[in-house]
Copies of this chain bind each other. A is one copy, B any other.
Amino acid sequence: MNCEIIAVGSELLTPHRQDTNSLYLTARLNELGVAVIFKTIVGDRRAHLTQSVKIALERSDIVVTMGGLGPTEDDLTRQAVADALDIRLRRNPEIVGALYARFAARRAQMTENNARQADVLDGSIILDNGRGTAPGQLLDTVYAGHRKLVILLPGPPSELKAMFDAQCVERLREVLPKRVIAQRTLKAAMIGESQADARIAPIYSAYRDVETTVLAHAGDITLNLSCSKATLEQAQARVDELAGKLEEELDEFVYSSQGEMLEQIVLDYLGMRGATLAVAESCTGGLIAERLTGISGSSRCFLGGAVVYSNELKTLLAGVPPTMLEDYGAVSREVARALAEGIRRKTSAGIGLGVTGIAGPGGGTEEKPVGLVYAAISDGKQTDVVERRFGGDREQIRRLASQQGLDLVRRRLM
């Protein structure tokens, strides 16, 4: 079974507001074995809304609307769904009574427009709203010869979530064929998207029952695998089998088979080895430290470090000899090495990481272009330096450089 979610509200078509309810609903629906195949965002215009509902009824088994159930003139969802299905709305006297009682309890006068919230699609189940005035509706109906479930939910997130969890999940479970979805997320670092996909597409394409999506961002690749079967065992077996093959193909590029972030994996490895880390960052300007300290509990293994943006600070905080900076330049293999070794020595950390490079947009030369980055790692016995030439803008280069630095630590501890 599949579903289309329609988010209703002109404010969702401005630059300032965004539907987030659909993420929550998608998670719940996926758990029930329902895939979301379209999302539509439409304003408070009756013709647009009616058309959107019709299109959804034509292509999806379940149609969920969110919003437009309130008392005002621009709350049009009930009317639009009635138009699309060509059925009638009836004003429900019990709901009208409950609305009056609700207002009376607050010693407030109920304005006439509130009664519109009592208009119910013929044949639908009323979904009580414990947190607001507008009730929802669930309609099990037939459209163009096919069975359709239509669910009208209120827009405010707390009302929507409470109503869906308490009054829709069980009803959907009864109606839906028994399907269970298993998921896995693999993550890989410092391999290009097209290079990775060229290697893995032949593998995942052969698993037609597993949906595989490939996402790439600044040296980070995320593979989401998802499979729906009658039992969890069957679904999990297919997902795990494919995950195993993908992991084998991408080999040491894979850093996580459960979706953790690279900084989390680095901290986990440090914890397992009882090791500590300190960093000396030039071009990344604190980004590596910021990523690591973004994770709660990082203080157990991450000591901190130095942001050595100026040459003087490279010397003062990380012990890089001034003559080395003169001889080789701040962006050089030698200085990267000295940063890693210097910050390790200075802080008595088990591992020192140093990163220097040219983030741009200015500062590049023919010999040392924008995007040139050196990252070095030292554990006191051995120091390794890698040279990379990254593409992209300042933000991308900094992000790639931080990813390269963290990946060096991961590989050393692997």
A: which residues have CB within 8 A of B? 9-18, 20, 23-24, 26-27, 30, 35-45, 48, 51-52, 55, 59, 70-74, 102, 106, 108, 111-114, 131-133, 156, 158, 162, 192-195, 197-198, 201, 205, 211, 213-215, 217, 224, 278-279, 281, 284-290, 292-294, 296-299, 302-310, 312-313, 316-317, 346-348, 359-362, 389, 391-396, 398
A40 with B39: CB separation less than 8 A: yes
Known: A71-B197, A158-B392, A393-B131. A215 touches B55 (CB 8 A): no
CA distance A289 to B281 in the complex (A): 10
B346 with A316: CB separation less than 8 A: yes
Query: Which single residue of chain B is at the shortest CB-CB distance from A394?
Result: B296
Question: Least Cβ distance of A205 to chain B in Å?
Answer: 7
A286 with B297: CB separation less than 8 A: no
B48 with A113: CB separation less than 8 A: no
A285 with B290: CB separation less than 8 A: yes
B38 with A40: CB separation less than 8 A: yes
Residues of B within 8 A of A278 (CB): 313
Tell me the interface secondary structure of chain A in the complex. Answer: mixed
B13 with A23: CB separation less than 8 A: no
CA distance A326 to B211 in the complex (A): 55
Question: Least Cβ distance of A285 to chain B in Å?
Answer: 3
B286 with A16: CB separation less than 8 A: no
A297 with B213: CB separation less than 8 A: no
CA distance A211 to B14 in the complex (A): 12
B205 with A73: CB separation less than 8 A: yes
Residues of B within 8 A of A74 (CB): 213-214
Residues of B within 8 A of A394 (CB): 294, 296
A310 with B316: CB separation less than 8 A: no
For A18, A284, A395, which residue has the most chain B Cβ atoms within 10 angstroms?
A: A18
B213 with A156: CB separation less than 8 A: no
CA distance A23 to B11 in the complex (A): 11
Residues of B within 8 A of A111 (CB): 194-195, 198
For A39, A111, A112, which residue has the most chain B Cβ atoms within 10 angstroms?
A: A39
CA distance A302 to B310 in the complex (A): 8
A302 with B309: CB separation less than 8 A: yes
For A27, A43, A132, which residue has the most chain B Cβ atoms within 10 angstroms?
A: A43
Known: A70-B193, A304-B309. A38 touches B42 (CB 8 A): yes
Say which residue of B41, B102, B396 sits within 8 Å of A38 (CB atoms): B41
Question: Least Cβ distance of A123 to chain B in Å?
Answer: 27
Residues of B within 8 A of A194 (CB): 70-72, 111, 113-114, 133
Residues of B within 8 A of A391 (CB): 102, 106, 131
CA distance A306 to B313 in the complex (A): 10
A213 with B11: CB separation less than 8 A: yes
Residues of B within 8 A of A297 (CB): 362
Question: Least Cβ distance of A362 to chain B in Å?
Answer: 7
CA distance A304 to B40 in the complex (A): 45
Residues of B within 8 A of A40 (CB): 38-41
B296 with A317: CB separation less than 8 A: no
| Extra A-B contacts (19), CB below 8 Å, given A112-B198, A113-B194, A317-B317 | A15-B30, A16-B215, A37-B43, A37-B45, A39-B41, A71-B194, A106-B389, A156-B217, A158-B393, A158-B395, A281-B289, A286-B287, A286-B293, A287-B290, A287-B293, A289-B307, A299-B309, A303-B309, A305-B313
